[in-house]
Structure 1
Amino acid sequence: MDWREIPSLSALRAFEATARLLSFSKAAAELNVTHAAIAQHVRGLEAEFSESLVVRAGRGIALTHAGERLAARLVAGFGEIANGVQDIRQLGVDRPLTISVTPAFATSWLMPRIGSFWEKHPDITVNISPTYKLVDLAKDNVDMAIRFGDGSWAGCDVEYLTSGDLVVVGHPELINNPNANSMADLVGLTWFFERIYARERRLVVQSEGFDLKSAQVNTLESSDLVFAGVSAKLGVSAITRSLIDHKITSGEFQAVCRLKTDGLGYHIVTRKNFESPSLRTFKKWLHQVA
């Protein structure tokens, strides 16, 4: 196909609407342009084809034989385009959502809450992919990533979801002081850090004036192991507050003190200007429950 031999699509759309509605004014209203713009497009096509496409008929207009032939082809052609667009849109509606999250967020924040989403939206399938690996949203066909950081991911749409503030927690029986509220109450206890966050969280703890060099520190491979160690009364840890609110509320963990991490938190990361109806619904739900 040589597009140089085809008139502008704007002119063809203007004529198709005119032929279907038999009115310049109605075509202009449908396409949200002026009456003069529609007339100019139609006259331009007539000049290009050296054929009359419409003629006056009383107070309205009628199609010539050439106009009827062109209109029939355009109706069929634009109909095929509309069907193709709808097919692709339906693919986005029908296919499952793929959500990339860190294992800790998946286990401690998302899974305890997502039952309410599935109850309200049983028609939307959500595939949850827990991983620490960075993903290419387009290349890996991922609809959304939920990541911890300051929100500075270039080339993506980023929305703040929930706080990244840390809280130092331990088992109530290990801390053995219901009024503990400072780092001084943790002297002599073992610390657990998840490997991927170990360096940053050690720095945050030490910035509070706590000397980790004199403490027993164990670095574990996953957040699940850290949680298990705390639950087993083996040590304490600094964990993102939003991930363990439910354990603090239930009394399984005792919150000792809060460590503020300015500007950090969990964010929704999606492709730029790319949002299917299912993704929009899931994002709205996330914000409601955060």
Structure 2
Amino acid sequence: MKWSELPSLAALRAFEATARLNGFSAAARELNVTHAAIAQHVRALEADLGVSLVFRSGAGMALTEQGRGLAASLGDGFRQIADGVALVRARKEDQPLNISLTPSFAENWLMPRIGAFWAEHPEIKVALNPSMDLVDLRRDGFDMSIRYGRGDWPGVDAEMLVHANFVIVGTPEMAEHVQGRNVLALGELPWVFETGREELIVWAQSVGLGECALDSIEVPTNSMAMSATRAGARISIQNKAVVERDLAEGRLVCLHEEAPSRLGYYLVRPPGIRSNRLKIFERWLKSVAKG
């Protein structure tokens, strides 16, 4: 098929509506344009094809033989297009929202809260894909990503959801080694990180520890990192919500806490129109984040 050999799609649509609804005025109302615009499109189509398609018949309008043939073909074609679009939309509505997010955000922030969303919106399925890999939202088929950083990624819409409420924690005994000293003194202590938690490295650099040669080890899970921290073997960076009870009961102390900045977790979407299901999920996330 050569598109260059076809008349204007707008003209074909105007003629199909005119033929089906038996007049320029009715076609104009359906397509939300003026009577004059419909008439202009139909006359342009007749000029392009070199035939008459419509003629006045009393107070109404009738189709020529060529007009009846073209109207039938266009009706069949537009119905097939409408059926195809409806099928795609139906399949899309049946699929879960595909959300990419960091393992840390999934484990520590979203999973303890998402039961409320499922209870409020059982009709909306959400597929969570925890990964530290950067994804191409359109190419990889994601509706949205929740990404850690400063929100300055090119080619996407990014909106801050929550600040990175991270704290450096250790046992009271660990705190004695750096009491009264600045944050750089923490670089002298042994550290433990969960493997793949790049946001913690970024945060550590943002608070001035980027130039420190940290004595650090990595462990597969944050639960293991927390065990090592509680045992007094290492210090670690934790989401404040995860260690609130440890801090309140004195098992751990806060060695450093940074004021909120542009660093945080962002809702990241591809540019363009978002589905109603995604808008509902976004509104819920923001309402929970606001508390």
TM-score (norm 2): 0.79
- Match of 1:142, SS state, is coil
Contact 2:163 2:260 in 1 (8 A): no
Distance, in Å, in 2 between the alignment partners of 1:23 and 1:63 is 10
Distance, in Å, in 2 between the alignment partners of 1:250 and 1:282 is 33
Q: CA deviation at 1:49?
A: 3.3
Distance, in Å, in 2 between the alignment partners of 1:174 and 1:75 is 80
Equivalent residue for 1:244? 242
Q: CA deviation at 1:255?
A: 5.2
Distance, in Å, in 1 between the alignment partners of 2:50 and 2:162 is 64
1:23 aligns with 2:23: yes
Equivalent residue for 1:84? 84
1:10 aligns with 2:24: no
Distance, in Å, in 2 between the alignment partners of 1:249 and 1:98 is 36
Distance, in Å, in 2 between the alignment partners of 1:70 and 1:246 is 72
Contact 1:204 1:259 in 2 (8 A): no
Contact 2:166 2:238 in 1 (8 A): yes
Flag the 1:205–1:237 CA change in 2: closer, same or farther, 3 A: farther
Q: CA deviation at 1:206?
A: 5.1
**Structure 2: stretches of 5+ with no match in the other structure:** none
- Match of 1:151, SS state, is coil
Contact 1:150 1:265 in 2 (8 A): yes
Contact 2:175 2:253 in 1 (8 A): no
Equivalent residue for 2:94? 94
Q: CA deviation at 1:192?
A: 3.6
Flag the 1:117–1:131 CA change in 2: closer, same or farther, 3 A: same
- Match of 1:138, SS state, is helix
1:1-290 matched pairs, under 5 angstroms = 1-170=1-170, 191-194=191-194, 196-197=197-198, 199-204=201-206, 218-231=217-230, 236-241=235-240, 244=242, 247=245, 258-260=257-259, 262-273=261-272, 275-290=274-289
- Match of 1:99, SS state, is strand
**Structure 1: stretches of 5+ with no match in the other structure:** none
Distance, in Å, in 2 between the alignment partners of 1:193 and 1:7 is 63
Contact 2:148 2:263 in 1 (8 A): yes
Which AA in structure 1 matches 2:60? G
Cα offsets for 1:56-87 (capped at 9, x unmatched): 23333233333222222211111111111111
- Match of 2:167, SS state, is strand
Distance, in Å, in 1 between the alignment partners of 2:206 and 2:180 is 14
Q: CA deviation at 1:219?
A: 4.5
Distance, in Å, in 2 between the alignment partners of 1:236 and 1:274 is 45
Flag the 1:23–1:254 CA change in 2: closer, same or farther, 3 A: farther
- Match of 1:154, SS state, is coil
- Match of 1:139, SS state, is helix
Cα offsets for 1:85-144 (capped at 9, x unmatched): 111122221122222221111111111011112112223322222221222223332322
Flag the 1:41–1:258 CA change in 2: closer, same or farther, 3 A: same
Q: Which moved more, 1:87-96 or 1:226-235?
A: 226-235
Q: CA deviation at 1:38?
A: 0.9
Q: CA deviation at 1:274?
A: 5.6
Q: CA deviation at 1:152?
A: 1.2
Contact 2:168 2:256 in 1 (8 A): yes
Cα offsets for 1:221-258 (capped at 9, x unmatched): 443333333455655433344x5376579868665652
Contact 1:168 1:237 in 2 (8 A): yes
Flag the 1:169–1:73 CA change in 2: closer, same or farther, 3 A: same
Q: Which moved more, 1:220-229 or 1:2-11?
A: 220-229
Aligned residues: 282
Distance, in Å, in 2 between the alignment partners of 1:14 and 1:40 is 9
Flag the 1:232–1:115 CA change in 2: closer, same or farther, 3 A: farther
Contact 2:108 2:239 in 1 (8 A): no
Indicate the percent of aligned positions where both proteins have the same amino acid.
43
Q: Which moved more, 1:119-128 or 1:5-14?
A: 119-128
For the aligned residue pairs, the C-alpha RMSD in angstroms reads: 3.6
